[in-house]
Chains A and B, each alone.
Chain A
Amino acid sequence: MDGPGTEAAQAGAMPGDYHPLPGVPDELMDAGGTLRPLWRDLIDHLGAMGAEGLAQATGRADQYLRDSGVFYRQYGAGQSVERPWPLAHVPVLIDEADWAQVSAALAQRADLLEAVMADLYGDNRLVSGGHLPPGLIAGNPEWLRPMIGIRPRSGHFLHFLAFEIGRGPDGQWWVLADRAQAPSGAGYALENRVATSRAFPALFAHQNVHRLAAFFRDFRDALLTLRTAGEGRIAILSPGPLNETYYEQAWIARYLGFALVQGEDLAVEGGRLMVRTVSGLRPLDVLWRRLDGNWCDPLELDPASRLGTPGMVAALRAGGLTMVNAPGSGVLETRALMAFLPQLAPVLTGAPLAMPNIATWWCGGATEQASVLASPDRMVLSPALGTGLPFDALGEARQAGSLRMADLAAWLAAEGPGLVAQEAVTLSTTPALVDGRLEPRPMSLRVFLARTAAGWQVMPGGFARIGASPDPAALAMQRGGSAADVWVVSPRPVPVVSMVTPAPGPYRRAPPGALPARAADNLFWLGRYVERTEGIVRLARARHVRLAEFGAAAQPLLDALDPLLMAQGADPEQGIPAGLLATLDAAMASAGQVRDRFSPDGWSALADLSKTAHRMATQVAPGDDAARALSALLRKLAGFSGLVHENMYRFFGWRFLSLGRLHERAMGMSAILAALADETAPPGALDLCIELGDSVLTHRRRFTVATSRATVIDLLALDPMNPRAVRAQIDGMHEQVGMLPGAAVHGALSPLARAMLRVQAEVATHTPETLTTAELAGLRDRIAALSDLLTEAYLR
C-alpha cells in the first residue's frame, strides 16, 4: 500500500469523491476536506482492495452473520419478523486519547445516575431541596413505589449502563440518551467485532484495536463476586424469544456461562429467589435482568405482566438476591431528567458534567417555555416522560419550528409539564459503504459501562448506529439504520485478552448447573419433533417411491400407509406435506427457546434443514421427484442428529433430548407395526415395515426364511440390538429415566421409574406370537402414558 491517494480513487472506492455534507462535521475528513491521519491506513486498505476485493470482504462478514444466525426482531403492522443483523461494514475509528476522555466523562455520569437513583428510591432530598420538580417524579410510570426504601444488597442500584453519544459540530461529544433500564447491544457489539474482523482481517491485525473481551471478563467476574454464598447461581432474566434482542440475550448467556431464564422459571421461597429445575428448586443469587423493571413482579409491580415472577420484590426486600440493575432504574432514562442533570452534577459528584448532554428544557416552567418560544427552529418537542433519543421517538416528537407560533404557545401553556424541548442535534457523519462507494452517514455511539471492583469499566468501542440516509432521524434500526463496529485505535500494540481467568490453585472440575424445567421441557419436545419429522419423511418417501414405481397398482398398499401419515397431520398427496413443515417449525420453536444450550453448529444445521424443506415444498412434484427430495432431507436430519449426539454434553439436557427422541421413535414404530404388520395388511406391507425401519440388510442377513409377520415383529419390535426396534427405545428410555434426579429415593422407585420398568419388562418378555396387533396398541398407550408421567415429575 504505497501509493494511496490516486490509486485508491481509481480502484473505485475513495476518498477522491467522498464529500462531507456542508456544515456537518465528519469523522473521516476535517473541515478543510483533508483525510484525518487516524483513518489513513483504513482508507489505503480499502482502496487497495478494489471493488471486487471489497465485495468479497463484506461478503465474508455477511456470511459469518448468516452462519451464526445473528438476528434481531423487527416490529411492523401487528407482527414481528426476524431480520438479519444489518452490519455497516466500515468500522468507525476513534483515537485512544479521545476515548480516554469519553470514558472518564461517562464514568462520572454513571456515578451521577447512581446518586440520583439512590436519592429517588431513598430520602428524596433532590425533590425536597428543590433540585427536581416533584411532579416529574410522582407522575413517572418508571418510578416504582414498591421499590422505595429497598436498599440493594450489593450496595449499588446500577451495575450495567449504556449511553448514546454523538459528536457535535465543534468536535465535542454529547450525551444523547441514558440507558439504565436494561441496556441491549453489548452482545451485538461482539458480533460486530467478529464480523468486521472477518471482513478486514489484515487491517484488524495491524491496527492496534482495543479488544472487547476484557470488558466482558471483568463484568462476569464482578457478577461472580456479588454472590453471597460463593456457590450461588447467576442467571440472565429474559422476556423470551419474542423479544427484539433475545438472540443477544442467549448469546451473552452462553458467552459468560450464565443460565438464561424466564420469569416462569423462577419462584420465591423464604425470601430467596429460586429456579425451578429438574432437580427441584435451586437458589439463584444474582439476576441480570433484560426485562423492564415494571414487569418483574405481577404481584407488586405491573399486574398485567405475564413475564415476571410473583414475589420478586419481596425477595429484593429481604435481601435474597442482587438484581442488575435494581428495578426502577428506568426512571433515569426519562428525557426530561436531562434538563436537570447538568445542575445536579456539581451537587452530587462535586464537579460539572465532563461531557454535556443535549440541551434540554422541561416545559413545566415559564422560563423554559419562553426559551422554546424564543428559538423554536432549534427545538424538538416530545413527551417529558418519554425515554430514549428524541429522533427515535417515532410519531411522538415534533419540530417546534413546524408549528405556528400561536399554536406552539397554546400547546406549551396547556401541556407544558408533559413536554420536553431538546435542541435539534447535528450529528457527525462517518463513511459508510453505499453501493460500493463511501458516503457520509450520521452516526451515534452506544457505549457500555459495567461496575467492577476497580470502578466503572468502559467497553472500548464495538457499537455505532449508522443512519440509512443523511438525515440524523434515520439512525433507528427499526427504520433501516444499521450498526457498525467501533475501533478504539492505539498508537501502541494492545494486549490480547481472553475470557479465561487463570484460577488460583489446582484445577477443579465445576459441577454442571441445574437444568431449568422449562429448558428440559423444550429439549424433550425438540427431540420428539425432530424424530417425528424423520418419521414423516420416511413414510412419505416410501409412499412416493411406490407411487413412482407401481402407479395405480400400489393403491392397496397406499391405503394402508396413508392413515399413518394422516395421523401425523401430513397430507399423503403432497410431495413435501405441510404437516411435515409444521412439525419442523415446532422443532425450531422448541430449539429457539433453548438457544443458549445449543451449539451454534446444531442451530445452523436445524435452520438449514428447515429452510431447505420449506423451499422444496414449493418446487417438488409428487412421485420420484418428491422421493429424491425426501432422501436429501433425511440426510440433513442425520446431520443434525449427528451434531447433537456427538457434541452435546451428556448431562440432564441431553437426557431429556434423548428421551424425546426415544419416546417418539417407540411410538412411531409401534404405530407402523400395528398398521402394516397386521394379519389383514395387504401384500408388500411387511417389506414396507422393514424399509421404514431401515432394516432391509439386517433382515436379509438374520433371516434366511421368507419375510413373515414373526420375522418383522422380532426384528422391529423385540430385538434389543436393532436401533430402530421398539425394544431398543424402551431400553434406552429405561436407562435415561434411571439417571434422572429422584428416580429412586431410598430404594423406592418414583411413579415414572415404576411405570418405565413395567413397560420395559412387558416388551422384554413378549415373543412375536404374543405381541399381537391388539397387544401392540395397548403397549403404545402405555408408552404414551410415560410422557405424561415424565412431564408431571420434571417438566412443570
Chain B
Amino acid sequence: MTPYALRLTVDYTFDRPLGAGRQLFRVLPAEVPGVQHVRRAAVTIRPAPAERMDRADFFGTKVIELAVPPGLEMLTFDLAAEVDRSAPELPLDMTPPVAALAAELAALRTLGPASPHHFLPPSPRIGALPEVAGFARDAGAGARTALETVMQIGRAIHRHMAFDAEATAVDTTPAAAFAQGRGVCQDFAQIMVGALRGLGIPAAYVAGYLRTDPPPGRPRLEGADAMHAWVRAWTGTEGGWIDHDPTNDCLVREDHIEVGFGRDYGDVAPVTGFLRLDGSHSGSHRVDIRPLSGQRSARR
C-alpha cells in the first residue's frame, strides 16, 4: 500500500469575458474497496462559482458541477488529495475461453453500473472498428483463456502504437489513431476497448492518474504527464474485471490512481463544458503525485 499526495491544478484564461457557463469536473479519486482509499480531497475554485453541486454519475464517478457567473476572465480549479493505493491482487487465471463469455453474459440479468452489458455494444466514441477487430483476431490467436486474450491484445497494441503526445487530439477517433499508429494513453485505451469488444469481451475505459516518477530501481512509466487512461476487461463471472494498461503493457498496480470508468472517454472526460466554446480560451493543467512519508522519489 502506498499513500500519495495528489495535486491537480487547472487554469483557464478567457480572451474576452465569458457569459454565464456550466461545466463538469470528473477528477476526484474514486473509492475502490480493497484497492484505493481516499483519505481526504479538498477542492478550491477561484473565483468562487455561483453554484456548485457534488454528486455521482451513473457509473459512480464523482462529479463536481459548477455554474459560473458571467464576466469571468479566468478560473482556477485546484484539487489536493491524499490517497492510499494498492496493486490489485494478481488473479489466478481461472477464466474461460472467450467463446464461452457470451453464455455467461446472457445469464447476467443486471444493468447495475458494473454490469458488463454496458461495455459490449458500440458507444458514442468507440463504434464498430473493422480494422481493429481484424487486428485483434490475429493478436488474440492461440490464447486459451479470456485473461490471456486480454494480455495478448494489450501487448499487441502496445507494440503497434508509438506514444506520441503531438500525434492526436482529444477528439481523434480510435480508428484514426490506430491507422496512424501513434497517440497517447487515451488512444491506446480506446483502441484496446474497441479491440476487446470486437472479440466479444466487454471492456470499459478507465480514467485516472499515473505516477510517472518511478520508485528506485524501477523504470519510468510512460504516460501523459498528467491524467492517464487504461482498460477494464470482463473475463467472465468468475474472473470478473481485470485492469490492463496498454500504454505500458502491464496490469494496473499501485502507480495507477483511479478516477472512474465508463464506456469511452466521453463518460469520464475530466472537464466538460468550457472546452466546447469557440477557441476563445486557453487552459493548462498540472498534476503532481508524490508518495507520502519516506517514499519520496528522487525528483530531478
Contact = CB atoms under 8 A, between A and B. Distances in A.
**A, B co-complexed:** yes
B154 to A, nearest CB: 24
Interface in B265-281: 266, 272-273, 276
Given A128-B110, A299-B24, A303-B266, A268 B58 contact: no
Contacts of A796: 19
A269 interface: yes
Q: Give the one of A128, A139, A267 with max B CB within 10 A.
A: A139
Given A145-B58, A299-B273, A310-B273, A138 B115 contact: yes
B117 A134 contact: yes
A128 B65 CA distance: 32
Most A C-beta atoms less than 10 A away, residue of B51, B108, B121: B121
A146 interface: yes
A311 interface: yes
B65 A134 contact: no
A77 to B, nearest CB: 25
Contact of B109 (A134, A270, A300): A134
A300 B111 contact: no
30 contacts: A124-B110, A124-B111, A128-B110, A133-B106, A134-B108, A134-B109, A134-B110, A134-B111, A135-B121, A138-B111, A139-B117, A139-B122, A145-B57, A145-B58, A145-B59, A267-B20, A268-B22, A269-B50, A298-B276, A299-B22, A299-B273, A300-B24, A302-B124, A310-B21, A310-B273, A311-B22, A311-B67, A314-B22, A314-B53, A796-B19
A581 interface: no
A464 to B, nearest CB: 37
A130 interface: yes
> How extensive is the interface on chain B, given as a class?
20 to 34
A270 B65 CA distance: 12
B120 interface: yes
The DSSP consensus for interface residues of chain A is: loop
A242 interface: no
Most buried by A among B108, B117, B120, B266: B117
A646 B243 CA distance: 72
B23 interface: yes
B182 interface: no
A148 interface: yes
Interface in B94-119: 106, 108-111, 115, 117-118
Interface string A274-306: 000000000000000000000000111011000
Interface in B55-73: 57-59, 65, 67
A127 B53 contact: no
Contacts of A129: 109
Contact of A146 (B51, B57, B120): B57
A213 interface: no
A310 B115 contact: no
A138 B57 contact: no
A139 B121 contact: yes
A137 interface: yes
A96 B199 CA distance: 56
A303 B111 contact: no
Interface of B: 19-24, 50-51, 53, 57-59, 65, 67, 106, 108-111, 115, 117-118, 120-122, 124, 266, 272-273, 276
A177 B118 CA distance: 26
Given A267-B20, A314-B53, A127 B272 contact: no
Contacts of B58: 145-146, 148
Interface in A133-164: 133-135, 137-139, 141, 145-146, 148
B290 to A, nearest CB: 33
Nearest to B65: A314
Interface string A107-140: 0000000000000000010011110011101110
A270 B50 CA distance: 9
A698 B188 CA distance: 80
A694 to B, nearest CB: 43
A796 B70 CA distance: 12
* Interchain residue pairs A-B with the least CB separation, the first 4: A139-B121, A138-B117, A145-B58, A134-B117
Given A128-B111, A134-B115, A145-B57, 17 more contacts: A124-B110, A127-B111, A134-B117, A137-B117, A141-B124, A146-B57, A146-B58, A148-B58, A267-B20, A298-B276, A299-B22, A299-B273, A300-B24, A302-B124, A303-B266, A303-B272, A796-B19
A398 to B, nearest CB: 19
Interface of A: 124, 127-130, 133-135, 137-139, 141, 145-146, 148, 267-270, 298-300, 302-303, 310-311, 314, 796
A268 B21 CA distance: 9
Nearest to B119: A138
B108 A299 contact: no
B51 A270 contact: yes
B22 A139 contact: no
Contacts of A133: 106
A62 B273 CA distance: 48
A571 to B, nearest CB: 35
A127 B50 CA distance: 40
Contact of B276 (A124, A127, A303, A314): A303
Contacts of B21: 310
A716 to B, nearest CB: 40
A268 B67 contact: yes
A130 B272 contact: no
Contacts of B115: 134, 138
B241 to A, nearest CB: 16
Nearest to A314: B65
Kindly name the residue among A141, A270, A310 whose own CB sees the greatest number of chain B CB atoms within 10 A: A310
A137 B272 contact: no
Contacts of A135: 117, 120-121
A227 to B, nearest CB: 23
Contacts of B51: 269-270
A644 to B, nearest CB: 32
Contacts of A139: 117, 120-122
B67 A299 contact: no
Contacts of B276: 298, 303
A497 B20 CA distance: 46
A47 to B, nearest CB: 58
Nearest to A141: B124
Nearest to B275: A303
B132 to A, nearest CB: 18
B109 A127 contact: yes
A366 to B, nearest CB: 11
A430 B109 CA distance: 46
Given A128-B109, A134-B110, A134-B115, A299 B122 contact: no
Contacts of B266: 303
Given A128-B110, A299-B273, A311-B67, A138 B121 contact: yes
A299 B111 contact: no
B118 A138 contact: yes
Most buried by A among B19, B21, B22: B22
A299 B23 contact: yes
Contacts of B65: 314
A795 to B, nearest CB: 14
A141 B121 CA distance: 10
A128 B107 CA distance: 10
A533 to B, nearest CB: 32
Contacts of B273: 299, 310
Contacts of A267: 20
B67 A269 contact: yes
Contacts of B120: 135, 138-139
Contacts of A146: 57-58
A149 to B, nearest CB: 8
A310 B272 CA distance: 10
Contacts of A134: 108-111, 115, 117
A666 to B, nearest CB: 30
Nearest to A269: B67
Name, among A268, A299, A302, the residue most crowded by chain B CB atoms within 10 Å (CB to CB).
A299
A531 to B, nearest CB: 30
Contacts of B67: 268-269, 311
